Structure 1
């Protein structure tokens, strides 16, 4: 199918006098187009027209995402720009194409400024322990505070940090903040947060994190590192040793969005996780008999392996009651409590208040 589409696109470009055009396959569902032109708007419109007339191929609906930018002598950076533009486009609620790299450059600039000045916004989602009706874990969410624009969500700025090689610096900044916060709050409270695969594969980052933990007077068990399944399943073996080392130091390891891919069970065969958070689809479709029975089976399997279980996006009382019958360990969502800002968290959990 990709071969057919690229051939048709090549013909469409040739008809519109784009004579010096190269189309190369990038991976199984993406391709790069290079052409010599000073009229970028014309190229953009040709591609938009092509998409509008080729929405189906062999009666199969095709979803397109594309970006157009000027190519510099730094080809690798140009390709990274295009990939990031398309990622932003896919995550955008607007059904619009980004015509050039201006938006990505603006986001890159805001991202770098926010990271430099530590302009981070932390929110905390409480997890309710259904066994004793207590809240002893909070999931940490982070946004970048942007001047003169909306705050940036991770799905927009993380690809940029990764492409610029700054994900480790970002992650250690997050870890420092969280560990410092743990010193201020009740010693029975744990905080769970995400680290990028780039950091988790880096032994240098591992050493920095362990040194940071040891320099503070907190129980490492209060730190829960989350792995986002869709980002990890390609190369779990790449950081098993680092995860094992962190776990030996007392840090707990959680896999997020469990069940979102066929690799889920494979993770459990290769590593002893402390906690799994089920993909939101299981919570949202819990009333479906098949989905409910699969979730119940995974909870039972987790119990036998001494793994704590978490259901997220629990927004209705009925969901909470059904999950209680499944004997899940924790739930998170508006049926528990709305997310807290840091001042609210400190007010509720500070040592001085206990």
Structure 2
């Protein structure tokens, strides 16, 4: 039995006592009153009136008991409210570790095997976790379900040892699975003394869980709420600037296309890329406002250059912003006010999971193309929805994922790249191979005859002033 189930049983026992004690008291009053008072009508009525009061009280306690259950009905762990409450009440925070366990493929399990099997997997996963912790002398560990696929628990245990144990547990689950179902899980852990705010602690755990090893990006060390305020403040103060990375046509280096890289100046934290702050921007509800701010500042900066060059400019925007009709109206008015032709701009989208209403999405894409914009799929062929979008959306460009460049000599990638480019050409879609940093790699990429090639071998990102120098 889970620790949470034991606590729930205690809670229900206390509720039962609250119901039983007044009943015994009421019986005592009846018997005592019959001996002390005369059996007149008034006394009898007063005593009888106590019965509906008691019935109401009993029904209320039963209803309240169901409304204030401590546990999640599926996994029998503590529910979100209770586990967060228990974390807030931790006393020896400097000695306590909080762990987030994430079932990464729960959505796939539900889609493939059904929700009943998905629920069964979660329940058995928690039972295995409880048994594993008990086996390693960690008893009565509070485990709670934070979200659909995330669980929290805390314990007092040495950090390195607990990390080692959790690595063993996650590997054992991923190697064996549950009920012949593959289960992909990961974990993140942090000290309970990290912050007084439980919300900040959980947010940090989620960030740690999602973190990827990108050598070129520095790790953000600020607490989530402080980082959120800093980013929002920087956006409001227009502390955004842009770098322009030239891309060239494989057979004609005079034709130019510039990839626009958005940067944000956080002063104390330095310069961060859009990718580093995107999640925080989204959670703050600034996604559309951020993209609007980017375009407003970008076009003001680019306007003089656009009159001197026929180059194309490609910029990544959030697909959520792209699907927002208010954002589209903003772009229309902005380009009209500044008298800039949209056909000079390629809007690049990258989305992890495909949008469900594909017909509606394609209508939106077409409406942007009618205005003159080109639409590109970024990180094409990577771990995202790009292949699915190629089937359903009217696309102008595909920009290949970095894996195709890194593995350009591997047979599988070589064959895929060759046929993807041929497929794109037959669909009148232009292609780009990215992250080409050496001449040897440039020559190999050129052999596939993509429309454009990008990378440090061509040029490093430039400021607006440096574009004039290379134009």
- The normalised TM-score by structure 2 is 0.62
Matched residue of 1:165: which SS?
A: coil
Q: Does 1:226 align with 2:334?
A: no
Separation (CA, whole Å) in 1 of partners of 2:369 and 2:174: 51
Q: Does 1:32 align with 2:151?
A: yes
Runs of 5+ consecutive residues of structure 2 not aligned to the other structure: 1-120, 177-183
Separation (CA, whole Å) in 2 of partners of 1:309 and 1:301: 10
Q: What corresponds to 1:157 in structure 2? A: 277
Separation (CA, whole Å) in 2 of partners of 1:132 and 1:261: 31
Deviation at 1:240, TM superposition (A): 2.4
Which region of structure 1 is more displaced relative to structure 2, 247-256 or 9-18?
9-18
2:186 to 58, 64, 67: 64
TM-aligned CA distance change 1:21 to 1:309, over 3 Å: closer
Deviations 1:8-30 (A, max 9, x none): 43356676465654346623xxx
1:274 to 396, 400, 409: 396
TM-aligned CA distance change 1:322 to 1:91, over 3 Å: closer
Deviation at 1:337, TM superposition (A): 1.1
Which region of structure 1 is more displaced relative to structure 2, 248-257 or 55-64?
55-64
TM-aligned CA distance change 1:175 to 1:102, over 3 Å: closer
Which region of structure 1 is more displaced relative to structure 2, 247-256 or 290-299?
290-299
Separation (CA, whole Å) in 2 of partners of 1:59 and 1:148: 41
- 2:256 and 2:311 in contact (8 A); partners too: yes
Q: What corresponds to 1:54 in structure 2? A: 169
Deviations 1:115-165 (A, max 9, x none): 121112311111111232224210011121121223223233110110111
Q: Does 1:345 align with 2:467?
A: yes
Runs of 5+ consecutive residues of structure 1 not aligned to the other structure: 350-354
- 1:139 and 1:191 in contact (8 A); partners too: yes
1:296 to 418, 422, 437: 418
Structure number with the higher helix fraction is 2
1:86 to 191, 204, 209: 209
TM-aligned CA distance change 1:214 to 1:44, over 3 Å: farther
Separation (CA, whole Å) in 1 of partners of 2:414 and 2:381: 13
Deviation at 1:243, TM superposition (A): 1.6
Deviation at 1:247, TM superposition (A): 0.6
Q: What corresponds to 2:256 in structure 1? A: 136
Q: What corresponds to 1:285 in structure 2? A: 407
CA RMSD of aligned residues (A): 3.4
Q: Does 1:147 align with 2:252?
A: no
Separation (CA, whole Å) in 1 of partners of 2:158 and 2:435: 43
- 1:107 and 1:157 in contact (8 A); partners too: no
Deviation at 1:63, TM superposition (A): 6.6
Separation (CA, whole Å) in 1 of partners of 2:448 and 2:259: 22
TM-aligned CA distance change 1:149 to 1:155, over 3 Å: same
- 2:400 and 2:432 in contact (8 A); partners too: yes
- 2:365 and 2:394 in contact (8 A); partners too: no
- 1:24 and 1:33 in contact (8 A); partners too: yes
Deviation at 1:2, TM superposition (A): 5.7
> How many matched pairs?
334
Question: Relative contact order (alpha carbons < 8 A, sep ≥ 6): 1 or 2 greater?
Answer: 1
Matched residue of 1:193: which SS?
A: strand
Separation (CA, whole Å) in 1 of partners of 2:399 and 2:215: 26
TM-aligned CA distance change 1:233 to 1:330, over 3 Å: same
